[in-house]
Chains A and B, each alone.
Chain A
Amino acid sequence: MTAMQHVSLGAHYVVHLPTPDDFAFWRERARQLIQCDVPPDRVSWVEPGGTGDLFAQEGPSRGERRLPLPEKSARQVRASKRFMKLARNAALHSDPERFGLLYRVLWRLQSKPRCMEDKADADVRRVEELDKSVRRDSHKMHAFVRFREVTDETGAEHYVAWFEPDHHIVRANAGFFMRRFANMNWSILTPRGCLHWDGTTMRESGPARREDAPGGDPVEALWKSYYSSIFNPARLKVGAMLAEMPKKYWKNMPESELIPELIAGAQAREAGMVAAGAREDRKLPSSVDAIAQGIGACRDCPIAECSTRAVMGEGALGARLMIVGEQPGDQEDEQGKPFVGPAGQLLDEYLTKVGIARSQAYVTNAVKHFKFTWKGKRRLHQSPTAKEIDACRWWLEAERSVVKPRVVLALGASAARGLLGKTVSIARARGTPMPLEDGSELWVTAHPSYLLRLDGEARAEQAAKFESDLEAVRARLTQIAGC
């Protein structure tokens, strides 16, 4: 208690800070007061525009002058690194009590150097809270400042932003914007003071009003388009957005005016997408009858609306070979059986030629309904689209899971897509088997109707290839039967 000799007993000291964010000034005075052993309850800290202190008997300037001077022998004031780190931020908080709090903790640190580690202590927690909210405010400033481009009197581009921080953070964050936009002319206007950078020097000016900032920028239209396009209406999570972007920031962000509209439209957009592809979570039917019933009622693609009926595959269950065509034709649609038209007859002819009994195989199509256009009184075949084949793929999978063939022969590109899920080139895929997921193997060849459309030499050439493909399949079947 030696320093008490310099301090009038019971005297109360008032320190007036020149600016609300002057940490260095506070540090200077706090060091001096602690060296003179002035306890925290006998100091008040007043920031500009503050109301002062009830106990202060003197005017501001005289109070300042009355601060005691420490003795030369006074011991050094010490603080932990952690305290310094937090205090620099906490000093920027808008809480008028902050400097008093920091002085109190600094005072305690002198007798208990590790007291910052006691996280259950009320003062320590408060300092941490202040630090946290200042860091958050700075972070939001880095994130939510929105520059608008204007042309200044010299004709140069100038970027101006208006921002309303919660705390005294403007000066402390000048460095961030300078390092980021070093070669740009910019100004950040705030009600707590403004920053101006011209590419070489930083200038400060007093508080500004919103009207001082420019009102718009043509690029904002692009930004808003981006904002509404990047939003996924199927994942609406308004709470998560509000937690990170509270409404208080919205008024200075051009994109925020879109939010209510995006939220309102989201559910409708999502429901629309689900309905457009509506396919409830159903199980693969487990019997041929169930499949036959299912395809009759299926409206997953528009083809079903026009054709007479769905054409189910036919053949032996447990057949080793499954032959898949493209879709039923005119005749098949009439009779309700697969491969009974001209292409079917040609197929039968070649099967007999190589020695495959059609009765031993299961014959079906990648698409179960007939797709056509009217030409006069004739129904003219139309190829199914990839999407239609994919829609019907589900039924083909059901048939495969019931029939369980060892070898699947796809006739033509549509059939191959129905089995593989991707479009392959017949010329490249034919001749070598491809493994399918369920352990069976897929052989690909042309559709017999392709042969019907050719004549002369081209037909002879393709017919030979077709025959040799069927021959390879037969050889493979014999091999499987043998082992």
Chain B
Amino acid sequence: MTQQTLRQKLEILADAAKYDASCASSGTARKNSLGGKGIGSTEGMGICHAYAPDGRCISLLKILLTNHCIFDCHYCVNRKSSNVRRARFSPQEVANLTLSFYRRNYIEGLFLSSGIIKSSNHTMEQLVEVARILREEHDFRGYIHLKTIPEADAELIHQAGLYADRVSINVELPTTKGLTRLAPDKDESTIEGAMGKTKARIIEAKDERKRFKHAPRFAPAGQSTQMIVGADDANDAAIVGRASGLYKRFGLRRVYYSAFSPIPDASAVLPLKRPPLMREHRLYQSDWLMRFYGYAPQEVAQATEKDGNLPLDIDPKLAWALKFREQFPVDVNRASKEQLLRVPGLGTVAVRRILAARRHRTLRLDDVAKLTQSITKVRPFLITLDWRPTVLTDRADLRALLAPKQEQLELF
């Protein structure tokens, strides 16, 4: 076999990494390269340096150290039995690539993951080595996200957290049944055990920083995880329930959803269909409802249809409002913040603006129109000084009025 060039390796190992949804580079400790030897800064806000035609942002150099893997997870393009081209970077190569991209302002930092080679510990050592080279030899102060391997030694995961801004462990599938079926080499209790340990360390390190100014930081941007949607038969209610459990138990910053998309040389166990992108979008919307709008997981589950899935044609907030019409309309001039947040079509920004504006005037429909994205969408749920949707809220066809218009068929 001929030696692969750096470019060939990059193509293989970036291609293999694209099924990881996370690319966030935000929410870490502020740092910059003034007074140091190297380069890099993080200033709170994440930066997306480019966007691919799939609409996803490219913020980090997202690659695998290697796509050789001793595991055989059916949904994964890099599983042992998959017939894809394999490649392997040395830690030094990854560090050099990261630096030369960073110097040209292509990226915010590195997101490094890996297939499991030899053993979990060996692989984790290699990942940590990349972070060590960047941080210690090159004084790199940009963002580093390391995927940690749940089966690896606790000491190695600790090392990873000291170098990285964020660490993550994927729970992969929403149900235990799905995990045993599709990822036969992985084990839920090991994954959750490692997440629990990481959480404890993050809390411990924060506490130490309060007392000692120079205590080392441990994963200042927290930990996150990813779930694959559509590879097993878990419904949205189950997925939302699982996600909220993860947020609560492990203090996760984010749970990412990744619609299972066709992969080259797929395993026969999985149905190959177009990825359920709309479903993924609805799940993210419900995630937002829980994180920013004060909905409880049971309330999101209330918005699901009979099969336990969120409706695809309307967003979960509207679905909830249509089911609980007795809570509407609400008076914009009197309602509490919590009530306003439940109005479909009012986002957190619009609600903040309404609350501020109504101190200065009694709001009319025209005023609300200036503060929101679309007045037609919110109108049926609001009372203003000059507007009261007497009939609208009770109409049986309200859903049809508010759902996005179906595309008209072409003449045949």
Contact = CB atoms under 8 A, between A and B. Distances in A.
* Bound pair (A, B): yes
Nearest to A176: B43
A434 to B, nearest CB: 11
Contact of A226 (B38, B61, B177, B271): B61
Most buried by A among B48, B262, B275: B262
A467 interface: no
Contact of A119 (B33, B97, B356): B356
Contact of B180 (A235, A266, A300, A437): A437
A244 B48 contact: yes
Nearest to A117: B356
A165 to B, nearest CB: 15
Interface string B4-46: 0011001110110111000000000000111111111101010
Interface in B139-156: none
A313 to B, nearest CB: 19
Interface residues of A, number: 80
A149 B103 contact: yes
A237 B53 contact: yes
A146 B55 contact: no
Contacts of B37: 183
| Residue with the highest number of chain B CB atoms closer than 10 Å, among A149, A217, A276, A277 | A277
Interface in A360-394: 385-387, 390-394
Interface string B219-249: 0000000000000000000000000000000
A231 B53 contact: yes
Contacts of A253: 50
B340 to A, nearest CB: 14
Interface stretch (B161-169, B193-201, B358-366): B358-366
B81 interface: yes
Interface in A111-126: 114-115, 117-120, 125
A350 interface: no
Nearest to A159: B103
Contacts of B52: 227, 230-232, 241, 262
Interface in B105-133: 105-106
B10 A229 contact: yes
B101 A223 contact: yes
A166 to B, nearest CB: 18
Interface string B167-205: 000000000010011101100000000000000000000
Contacts of A273: 262-264, 266, 272
B376 interface: no
Interface string B250-294: 000000000101111111110111110100000000000000000
A238 interface: yes
Contacts, number: 228
Contact of B58 (A230, A263, A300): A230
A276 B55 contact: no
A279 B19 contact: no
Given A239-B55, A277-B272, A390-B269, A181 B18 contact: no
B49 interface: yes
Contact of B36 (A183, A219, A236, A238): A183
B271 A225 contact: no
Nearest to A128: B353
Contacts of B370: 119-120, 125
A385 B264 CA distance: 17
A296 B45 CA distance: 59
Contacts of B266: 273, 276-277
Contacts of B19: 232
Interface string A138-150: 0100111111110
Contacts of A237: 53-55, 277
B274 to A, nearest CB: 7
Nearest to A231: B52
B268 A219 contact: no
Nearest to A235: B54
| A contact face: mostly helix, strand, loop, or mixed | helix
A299 to B, nearest CB: 12
Interface in A408-454: 420-423, 437
Nearest to A181: B39
Given A230-B17, A231-B18, A422-B72, A223 B51 contact: no
Contacts of A54: none
Contact of A236 (B53, B181, B185): B53
B47 interface: yes
A14 interface: no
Contacts of B271: 279-281
Nearest to A115: B360
Interface string A250-283: 0001010001001100100010011011111100
Contacts of A221: 7
A390 B274 CA distance: 21
B106 A146 contact: yes
A232 B261 contact: yes
A161 interface: yes
B106 A223 contact: yes
A120 B367 contact: yes
Most buried by A among B45, B80, B106: B106
A329 B58 CA distance: 52
A159 B268 contact: no
Nearest to A188: B105
Contacts of A279: 268, 271-272
A120 B361 contact: yes
A182 interface: yes
A245 interface: yes
Interface string A148-186: 110000000001010000000000000010111111100
Contacts of A386: 72, 80-81
Contacts of A262: 52-53
Contacts of B39: 180-184
B53 A241 contact: yes
B217 interface: no
A340 to B, nearest CB: 27
A222 interface: yes
B357 interface: yes
Contacts of B15: 229-230
Contact of B105 (A147, A226, A278, A387): A147
B10 A235 contact: no
B74 A120 contact: no
Given A236-B54, A387-B81, A118 B264 contact: no
A80 B117 CA distance: 59
Nearest to A120: B367
24 contacts: A117-B359, A143-B48, A143-B50, A144-B50, A145-B105, A148-B104, A159-B104, A176-B41, A178-B34, A179-B41, A182-B32, A182-B33, A183-B37, A184-B103, A222-B10, A225-B7, A231-B54, A235-B275, A253-B50, A270-B262, A273-B263, A281-B271, A387-B268, A437-B180
Q: Which 9 A-B pairs have the closest CB atoms?
A: A240-B55, A237-B55, A422-B184, A391-B268, A179-B32, A386-B81, A229-B14, A234-B261, A273-B262
Given A183-B38, A184-B103, A226-B61, 7 more contacts: A149-B103, A180-B32, A182-B33, A230-B17, A235-B277, A240-B55, A386-B80
Interface of A: 114-115, 117-120, 125, 139, 142-149, 159, 161, 176, 178-184, 217, 219-223, 225-227, 229-241, 244-245, 253, 255, 259, 262-263, 266, 270, 273-274, 276-281, 300-301, 385-387, 390-394, 420-423, 437
Interface of B: 6-7, 10-12, 14-15, 17-19, 32-41, 43, 45, 47-58, 61-62, 72, 74, 80-81, 83, 97, 100-101, 103-106, 177, 180-182, 184-185, 259, 261-269, 271-275, 277, 353-354, 356-357, 359-361, 363, 367, 370-371
